[in-house]
C-alpha cells in the first residue's frame, strides 16, 4: 500500500505526463509539490525501489504499469468525490479540489464502487476532467485549448486545466461555465489575448493565461 505522499507524487507524474512528451523532470515535480528538489529526489528513489516509477538521475521520471494503475485509482477517487461534493452536497466547483485531495486517499474499493453507482457512473468531474473506469481505463475525449482556436470558429467549453479557486471564481464572474458556446473573434498579436463571444453575448477579451487553461471542442 502506498502512502498519501507517494500517491500524490504518482498522480502528479501522471497528470504532467498527459500534457508533455517524454519523462517528467525533477524540477517540474518540485514546482508542483512546492518541495525542494532534494526532497523530490529522495521520494523518487523510494518510488523506484517499489517499482512504481522508472527513474534515472538527471533523466526524469515516468510511471511503471503498476505506478500508472495506482495513479489512475487515485484520480478516479478524486474525481468521483468532486462530483459527489458538487452534485449531492451543493459545493461550488471552486471549493471541491482541496476536499477531494483529502478524500481520494480513503482506501475502500467497496465504498468507491457504491459511490460510483450512487452518482450514476459519471464520465467526467465538475471541471470536465474524464473519470477513469473501474478497470483504470482513462477516456481521452477530443478537445483542444482555446489558444489553438482560430478566429471565426465556434466551440463549446468542455473543461479546464487550472482548478484553483481564484481561477474558477473568475470564470464564474465572466460567464465561462462548462457547456457555454464560445466564438473566437480575434487573437491579439501583441499579448495573445483572445476576444470571444460567450453564449451569444458581446465579445470580450480574456488573457492568454486564461485561454490556455480552457479546453474546448
Number of domains within the chain: 3
Which grid coordinates are listed for 89?
452536497
For residue 21, the model assigns a pLDDT of 77
Report the CATH number that the domain containing residue 166 is assigned in CATH: 2.30.30.90
Residues of the chain with pLDDT under 50: none
Q: Are strands 144-145 and 214-216 parallel, antiparallel or unpaired?
A: antiparallel
Report the CATH number that the domain containing residue 17 is assigned in CATH: 1.10.10.10
User: DSSP 3-state assignment of 137?
Assistant: coil
For residue 56, the model assigns a pLDDT of 86
Domain of residue 47: give its range.
4-63
Cβ atoms of 130 and 138 within 8 Å: the answer is yes
The verdict on residue 68 lying in a domain is: no
Phi, psi dihedrals of residue 21, rounded to the nearest 5° = -90, 145
What pTM was computed for the model? 0.91
Q: Are residues 150 and 136 in the same domain?
A: no
Q: Are residues 44 and 85 in the same domain?
A: no
Q: Where are the alpha helices (DSSP H) in 57-103?
A: 65-87, 96-103
For residue 1, the model assigns a pLDDT of 59
For residue 200, the model assigns a pLDDT of 85
Last residue of a domain, one of 140, 171, 187: 140
For residue 112, the model assigns a pLDDT of 97
Amino acid at each position: 500500500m502506498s502512502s498519501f505522499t507517494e500517491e500524490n507524487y504518482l498522480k502528479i507524474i501522471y497528470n504532467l505526463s498527459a500534457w508533455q512528451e517524454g519523462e517528467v523532470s525533477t524540477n517540474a515535480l518540485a514546482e508542483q509539490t512546492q518541495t525542494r528538489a532534494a526532497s523530490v529526489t529522495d521520494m523518487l528513489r523510494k518510488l523506484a525501489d517499489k517499482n512504481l516509477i522508472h527513474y534515472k538521475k538527471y533523466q526524469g521520471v515516468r510511471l511503471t504499469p503498476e505506478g500508472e494503475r495506482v495513479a489512475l485509482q487515485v484520480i478516479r477517487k478524486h474525481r468521483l468525490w468532486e462530483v459527489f461534493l458538487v452534485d449531492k452536497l451543493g459545493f461550488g466547483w471552486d471549493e471541491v479540489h482541496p476536499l477531494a485531495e483529502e478524500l481520494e486517499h480513503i482506501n475502500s474499493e467497496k465504498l468507491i464502487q457504491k459511490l460510483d453507482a450512487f452518482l450514476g457512473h459519471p464520465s467526467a468531474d465538475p471541471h470536465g476532467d474524464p473519470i477513469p473506469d473501474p478497470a483504470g481505463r482513462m477516456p481521452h475525449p477530443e478537445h483542444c485549448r482555446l489558444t489553438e482556436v482560430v478566429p471565426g470558429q465556434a466551440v463549446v467549453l468542455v473543461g479546464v486545466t487550472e482548478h484553483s479557486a481564484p481561477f474558477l471564481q473568475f470564470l464564474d464572474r465572466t460567464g465561462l461555465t462548462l457547456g457555454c458556446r464560445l466564438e473566437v473573434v480575434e487573437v491579439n498579436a501583441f499579448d495573445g489575448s483572445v476576444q470571444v463571444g460567450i453564449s451569444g453575448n458581446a465579445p470580450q477579451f480574456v488573457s492568454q493565461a486564461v485561454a490556455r487553461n480552457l479546453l474546448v471542442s
